[in-house]
Amino acid sequence: MVSRGGASLVEREPVFSRDGKRLLVCTACTVTVFSVQTGEVLTVLKGHTGFVNSVVVVPNATICHCWTAALDGTVRFWDFAAGTLLRTVNVGHPVQSMVIPELCKPRDAEKGDGKRKALVAFLSVGWYKGEAKDESEEDVKGRVICYNLTSAKQIPGHLAKTRYVETLCVSPGGGLVGMADDHKAWIWMVPQGGIEKSNVIPWTILHHTKRILVLAFDSSETRVAAGDHTGRILVWENVGDRTFSSIDNDGKVRVGKFTPPPKIVMRGRVRGGGVRGKDDAASCTTYHWHAREVKSLTFTMDGVYLLSGGLEGVLVVWQMETGKRTYLPRLGGALFYIAPSLHPALFAIACMDNSIKLLNTGTMDVERTIQGIKPPFVMPKQVSMNPSMVSIEPSEGKIVVATHNLSLQFYDPASDQHVAELQVTPRNYVVGAREEEEEGLSTCVTHVAFSADGLCMATVDVRIGEQSIGGGACLKFWEKNLQNRKFSINTQIDEPHEISALSFQSRERMAVSCSDTEFKIWVPHERRASRVSWRCRSVGSYRQRPILAAAFSSDGSILAVAASEFLTLWNPATNSLVKVLSNAVVHPLQPIHHLAFVNQSNCLVAASSGERPLLTVWDVSTLSVRWSQAISVESLSVDPIRANFAVLAGVPSDTYQEGARNSDAVVGLFDVDSPAPLQYWTVRDGFGGTLLYTPVPQTSAEAPKKGDDNTMTDLVPSKSKLTYLTSTREFVVFDPYQREDEPEQPKVRDVSVPEEVSSAFTALYGKAVQPKKSDAPADVLSALSKAPWGTLLNGPSHVLPSLSVVCIPFMDSLLKKRTEQT
């Protein structure tokens, strides 16, 4: 059974379902439906073969249908409650962005049944120059087209050509469609009476001197806000007054009579300041707080406030009338998207740290966080040694990754869920510091290692000096509290040495850390009564060679230390050098980076990378080489049960194939006896990837050792699982011994209906405690909630949406009820 996970949740804008109970999030080639109430995964919509870029939900509270568009050139229609694909429309071009203005207006499906209007989508697609699609990517230009989804036909003509494929946005009422394109913003008005030809759609362009990154419309559809890359927010008032007004009055587009925006407008009319050139707007106001680029913008439903977020990780709420700002700082990462919900105070914020935060603007509080696996960070340039920032907690099988902010994230690969986060050193991470992009983080966790029983953890965090002032490292030993299953710090060692590798012994409490010239063995030491702390017991070095890897044998009697290209075997009890091994076959030797003892055998695997990479299997009992092979090993992991090991290797240059990408790699499963791999899998994005065996808990690992090895290993089904984690922190967990012909069991997800969404009242004041007695008042309450308009008007008047928004659904609900009764 293969389980994948770790997709980024924040690549695209999340979308709320119409009933407000579900949140649809684009996760690579799938769409994941989360419950707003609990943050759990409800459904995964699988089917697309390219990255899903847009989700549009059908505006009907009773049915859960949505359209999705993806880079594979298809637009699909789903029932996301059941998770089934209903329809596929092949557009033929990779769709970067899709908006369907029709679906922005709240309406019922039945209403449209009588004379069903054609559903027209605005698509921003990649357009190849010629007809041949296998041309290089540079020739792809952006193009905005209209597409009739009902008849699956493209409406002839196009709306715009762009240099790059840009993202579209639509106004809340569906009247305007906008697109930010370099220094200008395109605005199209959606005609009321259907579209037959693309080039008759009225449009206007707003200009700016800086690159515009994001656009937003308010509900009145006269105000447009744009955020640029310098941090300014521009708000144009009465956009398209002149261009669109004549059409608006008639309510219909006069086909063929549309003229481009008038060239000269200055007819003595006093125009507001700030509007550039001949742009069709009354005034343009600039709001400036963000120091860096504005990534997301959204108007509140009533248009009184504007929410903006940027690289600083601070949500700014602007009061449009006064320009007054309210801040919500320390959100943990740059804010990529702010998605409004039907609830006027509830917003979903997509944060750079791969989390979606549900924000209540009434209380200015984050109510719930949907946290994915945290993204990798830019390593400091000064950190030269290879860090091991990823590990697996042995007792529970959680993936542990180092994150920004000097934290460790515990992530459950089985359920693809965030479990816990532990900050190694308390510190305030400054989101979006300019230097970070150039020089990497100033502090980071470089190593994390667990003892075999999972009760002990060691971490190394480094601080990079500013102009070589104040740098340093800190080694910390943590102990797990068995009650609350959390790690608490036991010992903190400042400036241990420059640690390049860290490893625990499996039997006793003993750890080894390696640096440039020496290795140190750390043991717990009873300092005072009832207080055990770790201390350095002994220091060793071999010819002042840089040490890059160290490993204990499974019984703990041998410590293997890779001193540059030599393998040195030590007795950890006496700290004495036992033997030096050197593979004299290949010259010159490369320093050994990876080292591991293979279980159930007397073998030691050493891997060196560089110009002459070599994977060597040593037999420790005979002190001879069993076999060696020229493989450049990226990561090495040994099977906790069998005498096997798995390596992640780059494809050798001689077998480099045409078309294969440079970063392609191979995961190979080897036996200690033969250099031919038992199994191999090709993977992409191999560079910087990590291979980890999920350790088997101690009790079951020792079971096969009691009896005969051969029979027992056959009898006891191997439960060892291999986890492959890429540098972008997507992972796949699989059983390496499962044969390919075995049918993969489909994972059954219980598709449960999410709970009742909170009303505005509960959002503001919390849930009222209901009296237990089921007397008359309860009946009254239930009668109230059975009102035909449902919970539409629940809550105080000041948080209710504007009357124009509420009116139509309110009237609809009343009308519908009557027809059903009669």
Partner 1 sequence: MDAGRNDYVPVKAKAYPASKNPLSADARFWKAFKILATPQHIGAVTSIQFSPVDHHDFAVSSSTRVTIYDGITGEVKKTISRFTDVAYSGTFRSDGQLLAAGGETGMVQIFDLGSRQILRQLKGHKGAVHWVRYAPQDKLHVLSAGDDRTVRYWDVATSEPLSTLNGHTDYVRCGSASPTSNDLWASGSYDHTVRLWDIRTPKCVLQLEHEKPLEDVLFFPSGGLLASAGGTDVKIWDIVGGGRLVQTLGSHQKTVTSLTMTAPRESSSALEQDAPRLLTSSLDGHVRVFDLSSFKVTHAAKYPHPLVSMGLSTSSQTLAVGTSSGMLYIRQRKATEIKEDQEEKPKSLLDTTRSKKPKQLRPNNYRYFLRGRSESAAEGDHVLVKPQKGKLNAQDKFLRKFMYREALSAALATADPTVVIAVMEELVARRGLVKAISNRDAPSLEPLLAFLCKYIVMPKQTRLLVPVAHLVLDLYTESLGVSPTISHLISILRDRVGTEVKLHLHLQSLQGLMEPLIQASAQI
Cβ neighbours of residue 208 under 8 Å, at least 6 residues apart?
Answer: 183, 184, 185, 226, 228, 234, 276
Choose, by CB under 8 A, the member of 184, 223, 368, 721 that binds partner 1: 368
Which tokens in the block code for residue 316?
Answer: 């700014």
Smallest Cα–Cα separation from 699: which of 645, 643, 640?
Answer: 640
Distances (CA, A) of 4 to 203, 415, 730, 768: 44, 10, 8, 41
Cβ(67)–Cβ(101) below 8 Å: no
Residue 515 near partner 1 by CB under 8 A: no
Type of residue at 696: V
Per DSSP, the three-state class of 589 is: coil
Residue 130 near partner 1 by CB under 8 A: no
User: DSSP letters of 692-719?
Assistant: EEEPPPHHHHHHHHHS-HHHHHHHSPP-
Residue 428 near partner 1 by CB under 8 A: yes
The smaller minimum CB distance to partner 1, of residues 420 and 806, is found at 420
Smallest Cα–Cα separation from 177: which of 256, 120, 127?
Answer: 120
Type of residue at 673: D
Q: Where are the beta strands (DSSP E) in 314-364?
A: 315-319, 325-328, 335-340, 346-351, 355-360
Residue 472 near partner 1 by CB under 8 A: yes
Q: State in angstroms the smallest separation of the CB of 533 from partner 1.
A: 9
Residue 470 near partner 1 by CB under 8 A: yes
Residue 332 near partner 1 by CB under 8 A: yes
The smaller minimum CB distance to partner 1, of residues 463 and 626, is found at 463
Could you give the CA distance from residue 592 to residue 549 in angstroms, rounded to a whole number? Answer: 7
The residue range among 265-273, 362-370, 511-519, 614-622 that interacts with partner 1, by the rule CB under 8 A, is 362-370
What dihedral do alpha carbons 450, 455, 460, 461 form, nearest 10°?
Answer: 120
Residue 683, judged by CB atoms within 10 A of its CB (0-12, 13-18, 19+), counts as middle
The residue range among 52-60, 330-338, 518-526, 713-721 that interacts with partner 1, by the rule CB under 8 A, is 330-338
Residue 468 near partner 1 by CB under 8 A: yes
The smaller minimum CB distance to partner 1, of residues 85 and 366, is found at 366
How far is residue 788 CA from its own chain's centroid?
A: 40
Choose, by CB under 8 A, the member of 311, 328, 458, 563 that binds partner 1: 328
How far is residue 767 CA from its own chain's centroid?
A: 32
Cβ neighbours of residue 24 under 8 Å, at least 6 residues apart?
Answer: 14, 15, 16, 17, 31, 32, 33, 34, 55, 57, 66, 80
Type of residue at 375: P
Residue 492 near partner 1 by CB under 8 A: yes
Residue 484 near partner 1 by CB under 8 A: no
CB atoms within 10 A of CB 287: 20
Residue 433 near partner 1 by CB under 8 A: yes
CB atoms within 10 A of CB 164: 12
CB atoms within 10 A of CB 102: 20
Could you give the CA distance from residue 821 to residue 810 in angstroms, rounded to a whole number? Answer: 17
Choose, by CB under 8 A, the member of 61, 282, 366, 455 that binds partner 1: 366
Residue 736 near partner 1 by CB under 8 A: no
Residue 628 near partner 1 by CB under 8 A: no
Q: State in angstroms the smallest separation of the CB of 376 from partner 1.
A: 19
Residue 544 near partner 1 by CB under 8 A: no
Q: For the window 283-322, what string marks contact with partner 1 as x by the rule CB under 8 A?
A: ----------------------------------------
Which tokens in the block code for residue 731?
Answer: 């992972």
Residue 426 near partner 1 by CB under 8 A: yes
Q: State in angstroms the smallest separation of the CB of 352 from partner 1.
A: 13
Q: For the window 245-274, what string marks contact with partner 1 as x by the rule CB under 8 A?
A: ------------------------------
CB atoms within 10 A of CB 660: 12
Residue 463 near partner 1 by CB under 8 A: yes
Could you give the CA distance from residue 346 to residue 9 in angstroms, rounded to a whole number? Answer: 19
The smaller minimum CB distance to partner 1, of residues 429 and 487, is found at 429
The smaller minimum CB distance to partner 1, of residues 369 and 517, is found at 369
Residue 443 near partner 1 by CB under 8 A: yes
Choose, by CB under 8 A, the member of 469, 529, 776, 783 that binds partner 1: 469
DSSP H stretches of helix in 600-720: 698-706, 709-715
Q: Within positions 552 to 571, which residues make up the interface with partner 1, using CB under 8 A?
A: none
Choose, by CB under 8 A, the member of 423, 481, 557, 582 that binds partner 1: 423
Choose, by CB under 8 A, the member of 467, 484, 657, 822 that binds partner 1: 467
**Tokens 């030691």 identify what position?**
604
Q: State in angstroms the smallest separation of the CB of 371 from partner 1.
A: 8
The smaller minimum CB distance to partner 1, of residues 34 and 122, is found at 34
Q: How long, in residues, is the chain?
A: 822
3-state helix, strand, coil in the chain (%, to 5): 10, 40, 50
Cβ(531)–Cβ(564) below 8 Å: no
Residue 494 near partner 1 by CB under 8 A: yes
The smaller minimum CB distance to partner 1, of residues 465 and 707, is found at 465
Could you give the CA distance from residue 821 to residue 733 in angstroms, rounded to a whole number? Answer: 55
Residues in the interface with partner 1 (CB under 8 A) total 37
**Tokens 């109970």 identify what position?**
21
What strand order describes the sheet that includes 592-597?
592-597, 603-608, 614-619, 624-629
Could you give the CA distance from residue 713 to residue 639 in angstroms, rounded to a whole number? Answer: 13
Residue 476 near partner 1 by CB under 8 A: no
Q: For the window 379-408, what string marks contact with partner 1 as x by the rule CB under 8 A?
A: --------------------------x---
Q: State in angstroms the smallest separation of the CB of 68 from partner 1.
A: 27
Q: State in angstroms the smallest separation of the CB of 481 from partner 1.
A: 17
Residue 530 near partner 1 by CB under 8 A: no
Could you give the CA distance from residue 51 to residue 69 in angstroms, rounded to a whole number? Answer: 9
Residue 222 near partner 1 by CB under 8 A: no
Residue 150 near partner 1 by CB under 8 A: no
Residue 378 near partner 1 by CB under 8 A: no
Smallest Cα–Cα separation from 487: which of 455, 512, 460, 509?
Answer: 455
The smaller minimum CB distance to partner 1, of residues 39 and 50, is found at 39
Q: State in angstroms the smallest separation of the CB of 365 from partner 1.
A: 8
Residue 465 near partner 1 by CB under 8 A: yes
Residue 775 near partner 1 by CB under 8 A: no
The residue range among 75-83, 193-201, 326-334, 639-647 that interacts with partner 1, by the rule CB under 8 A, is 326-334
Distances (CA, A) of 109 to 61, 70, 597, 805: 10, 25, 65, 18
Could you give the CA distance from residue 318 to residue 227 in angstroms, rounded to a whole number? Answer: 13
The residue range among 15-23, 324-332, 514-522, 737-745 that interacts with partner 1, by the rule CB under 8 A, is 324-332
Q: State in angstroms the smallest separation of the CB of 428 from partner 1.
A: 5
Choose, by CB under 8 A, the member of 30, 162, 298, 355 that binds partner 1: 355
Q: State in angstroms the smallest separation of the CB of 369 from partner 1.
A: 4
Choose, by CB under 8 A, the member of 182, 495, 702, 708 that binds partner 1: 495
The smaller minimum CB distance to partner 1, of residues 584 and 769, is found at 769
Residue 758 near partner 1 by CB under 8 A: no
Angle at 68 between CA 67 and CA 72, to 5 degrees: 140
The smaller minimum CB distance to partner 1, of residues 137 and 494, is found at 494
Kindly list the residues in this chain that would bind partner 1 in the complex (CB under 8 A).
328, 330-332, 355, 357, 365-366, 368-369, 371, 405, 420-421, 423, 426-430, 433, 435, 442-443, 463, 465-472, 492-495
